[in-house]
Every structure is written in structure tokens, then in C-alpha cells.
Amino acid sequence: MTSRKTPISKAVTPSEAAAAAAASPWKKTRDIEKEREAKRDAVLRTAAQMFNEKGFHATSLDEVAERLHITKPTLYYYVKNKDDILFQCVSRGLALLQDAIHVVGQSGGSAEDKLFAAMRQYVEIVTMDFGMCVIRVGEDPLPLESRKKLRSMKGAIDMEFRQLIEQGIAEGSMAPCDPKMAAFTIAGALSWIGRWYSPDGPMHPDDIATQVINLLSFGISRRRAEEHGVVVNPTKSASVRKRPRKTGTT
């Protein structure tokens, strides 16, 4: 497998879409439904940030309301309760992951190119509010029925990865392997980034994705990496760039 940055369509990236959705949710507008949805998004995004920072059980709705500069009763105009907030946050994160991988899978190029592009998208999403909430909190605190729905979405994401790997093996761009085991390994490694990533850290998500893709492709064997022309300089890459810290967009 050869690591490379694969050009994808000029569609709006997940981070750009999140930034647009979070901008000025309380501005006056003639579209009442659009305004309500923007405010609801702000409630969910703020809650996701706090769940990621403090944990689900340690975060109260009073604190969410305080950060939004609204009253607690106002929250209930947009959400049912705390469980509903978490369900919506996690389902949004999973939907972002599923949609991104599906779109990449339908694009042109080899299965190997598609897999690397999907991995890059995955890293971007798990370093954002809703994607990070999938990893740091997940569905475990929720009632059984909610857990089942969210785990079904996770299963669909796993199948997208497996299908790309199966296609790569069939076309000869990927080494023969167990697609299930390979998909688990890839998703596990990429998901863990959402645990330790910090917007204030030294690396941009795209730089992290490049290093992880190279590691998963060639392992830590210097010989194999050099054979494929891959050179990783941790000192240089660690100071490349950081994602700007903006409220509601990370």
C-alpha cells in the first residue's frame, strides 16, 4: 500500500460545515424554523464540548445554559433532556463519519486511494465536537434502545471500511488480510485520536492523519517506509500548524 494525499471533490469539509452552522445562531431572521435549528445546533454543540471536557455525568444542564448565556428552561425548548442531548450529539457525529466515508467510497480512484481519503476524513471528524463526543462519551450512558440505534450506525461505518478493504484486496492494491480485523484495527487507531487530540496541541488533524496513515500502511519498519519513499520527521511535523481555536468549530 502506498500512502498519498488523495484529492477529493470540492465539497464543503466537515469543519467548514460546522463553522457555518455555528455562526451567530441568535441573529434575527425571518426564517423561524431555520433560526430555531441554528439555536438547537448551538445547544448541542456547546453540550458536546462540555461532555468532551468534563464527561457526561459531570456536566449539568445548568452549566450548559450558563455557557450559552441563557436560562435552563430555555434549553427545554430545543431538547427534551440530558439523554436526548447526548443521543443527538453522538448520532450527529456518527452521521458525519458515515456520510464522509460513503461519499469517498462512491468517488473515483482505486480502493486504496478511497481508503486513505476515508481515513483522513475520519481523523478530521473525530477531532471536532460531535465526532469527539462519539469517542470520548459514546452511547454507553444512554438507555438500551438509544444504544441499539447508535450501535447500528457504528456497524454501518464498520461495513463501509470492510468493503473498501475487500475491494482493495480484490484489485490487488492491498495485501491479503482479514477485512474485519483490518477494519477494526484502522477504526480503533483513528478513533483513539479523538481521545488525546487537543486543539491547542502542536499538530493539525491533517498532519496527524498523514502520520497515522503511514504508520498503518508501513508499520514502524524504516526499510519498508524508505522503499515507498515515505519520510516522517516528527520534529518538523509537530510544529507545522494547529487548527485555530474558535468557539463551536472544533
Tens digit of pLDDT for each residue in 99-117? 999 899 888 889 999 999 9
Rounded-to-integer distance, Cα 110 and Cα 16, Å: 27
Provide the pLDDT for residue 247: 44
Residue 147: all three cell numbers together: 444504544
Residue 201: all three cell numbers together: 496541541
Question: Which tops the pLDDT comparison, 109 or 151?
Answer: 151
The mean per-residue pLDDT over the stretch 202-221 comes to: 88
Q: Whole-model pTM?
A: 0.78
Provide the pLDDT for residue 137: 97
Rounded to 5, what percent of the chain is helix, strand, coil?
A: 65, 0, 35
Average pLDDT, rounded, for the chain: 85
Rounded-to-integer distance, Cα 227 and Cα 134, Å: 37
Provide the pLDDT for residue 237: 45
The mean per-residue pLDDT over the stretch 177-193 comes to: 95
Contact indicator for 100, 17 with CB cutoff of 8 Å: no
Rounded-to-integer distance, Cα 17 and Cα 188, Å: 25
pLDDT digits (tens, 9 = 90+) for 57-69: 999 999 999 999 9
CA-to-CA separations, 193 to 6, 48, 128, 170, in angstroms, rounded:
21, 17, 11, 29
> What are all long-range contacts of 20-28, with beta carbons under 8 Å and residues at least 24 apart?
21/45, 22/247, 22/248, 22/249
What proportion of the chain, given as a percentage, has pLDDT over 90?
A: 65
Provide the pLDDT for residue 236: 47
Provide the pLDDT for residue 243: 56
Confidence of residue 50 (pLDDT cuts 50, 70, 90): very high
- DSSP letter string over 48-107? HHHHHHH-STT--HHHHHHHHTS-HHHHTTT-S-HHHHHHHHHHHHHHHHHHHHHHHHHS
Q: What do you get for the CA distance between the two ends of the chain, in Å?
A: 31
Rounded-to-integer distance, Cα 18 and Cα 41, Å: 10
Task: Report which secondary-structure segment, H or E, holds 187.
Answer: helix 179-196
Query: Above 90 in pLDDT, residue 233?
Result: no
